[in-house]
Amino acid sequence: MTTTYNDDILFFDGINILDLALLNQTPFYLYSENIIANNFLKYQKSFGDNPHLICYSVKANSNLSILSLLVKLGSGFDIVSGGELSRVIQAGGDPSKTVFSGVGKTEEEIRFALSKNIMCFNIESRDELRTINAIALEKKSCANVSIRINPAIDVDTHPYITTGMQDNKFGIEQSEILDIYKEAHELKGINITGIDFHIGSQIMDIGPFKESILKVIAIAKELKKNNIKLSHIDIGGGLGIPYDNERSPDKSLFISEIVDLLKPLATKILIEPGRSIVGEAGLLISKVINIKKSTSKNFIIVDAGMNDLLRPPLYNAYHSIKEIVDNGANKIVCDVVGPVCETADFIGKDRNLSVLKGDYIAVESVGAYGFSLSSNYNTRMKSAEYLIAKDGQNIKKIRDRDTIKQILENETKYLL
């Protein structure tokens, strides 16, 4: 875990969180530039001289400051919408280092991405291939594409975050893949550049990645026989992080095994990590509003709800919760819940904590799919975000908390 107690006060990346919590309105997200940079550089260094591009997956955490920090480190990006492409551009990212994934790219998004000369579209269906070809021809241009294979690999993660299993909506079945490449090869608006897969998220075992790569190698050989040359292989994202006491695979070992396996193909390697770059770099800080006891339960009611952190209700995900001041008092078994009017609104169940009304808690490892999955449900404001700069002292506000004016301004009140 990324936090430590110093004189009973919780610290994160050298920062006293109690001081921060007392000064700022809760709930808020707090990130560490150092942890993000270290994770990115670990991947970067592991590739050594082997041609590669790390395309950070924007959906994990799309704050402009985080994207621009990754731009400075040399990152490319994996996007899934026109909105994410706009973020990348605004953060100073290079569209020619950006890959566009997702099963439902709209014509408008395809036009926008083509006009920005993105690195490639990761194609998810034959229909999509034909649409992109037609748009490229109409614009008298040619779209770079990679075709996403669904390797039909079973991975040990929550069913909602598997993406490369037979019945998932993503990628193209192996039985169809050669035929689609052959069609793409004939299309005048299409330039084949690669092949890609993404098998899921929070994967703690590198076996399924290796299995998928072996399938891709076999396909690449077949393509070569058909004069179709690939210049890159994109192995997606998905490497997990420890949320409790698990051990995640070592990034260097992971990359060195992948590089060794792919060496015979002599192509550039792309990866699209999200969680393993930003996940452990974020905390959610929240205040205890009320404490409630019923016959069977103790509830700690905090000011962060499922609109701020959806992972526990949506995936039954575990996030460690720490008291910001360890008061040494006896801990009680409790459920930590939010103020949202849903029984699913919980942050943690059956936790051992000792907190009083007005105390603060920190929810750990929420840098990925934390803020980016947040919403205004119950007309609650999306929280502010802060970043601890790499000097370990400066704390920058990288997003203001929503205001009620902003939330209401897109709505119209018709006089009925």
Residue placing its CB nearer to ligand LLP in the complex, 27 or 273: 273
Interface residue list for ligand LLP (CB under 6 A): 57, 60, 78, 101, 161, 163, 198, 201-202, 236-238, 272-276, 311, 315, 368-369
- Give CA–CA dist 59/51, Å, rounded: 25
- Give CA–CA dist 399/199, Å, rounded: 32
- Give CA–CA dist 173/162, Å, rounded: 15
Residue placing its CB nearer to ligand LLP in the complex, 37 or 353: 37
CB of 158 to ligand LLP, least distance (A): 7
User: Counting beta carbons within 10 angstroms of the beta carbon of residue 244, is it exposed (0 to 12), middle (13 to 18) or buried (19 or more)?
Assistant: exposed
The three-state secondary structure class of 410 is: coil
Contact 53, 387 (CB under 8 A): no
CA terminus-to-terminus distance, the chain: 55
CB of 198 to ligand LLP, least distance (A): 4
**Marked catalytic residue, from 55, 142, 334, 341:** 341
CB of 153 to ligand LLP, least distance (A): 14
Residue placing its CB nearer to ligand LLP in the complex, 91 or 368: 368
H or E, element range at 33:
helix 33-47
Residue 334 annotated to the active site: no
DSSP, residue by residue, 151-203: -----SS-GGGB-SSTTSSSSEEHHHHHHHHHHHHH-TTEEEEEEE---BSSB
CB of 20 to ligand LLP, least distance (A): 25
Residue placing its CB nearer to ligand LLP in the complex, 208 or 237: 237
CB of 107 to ligand LLP, least distance (A): 21
The three-state secondary structure class of 394 is: coil
Residue placing its CB nearer to ligand LLP in the complex, 114 or 366: 366
Residues carrying an active site annotation: 341
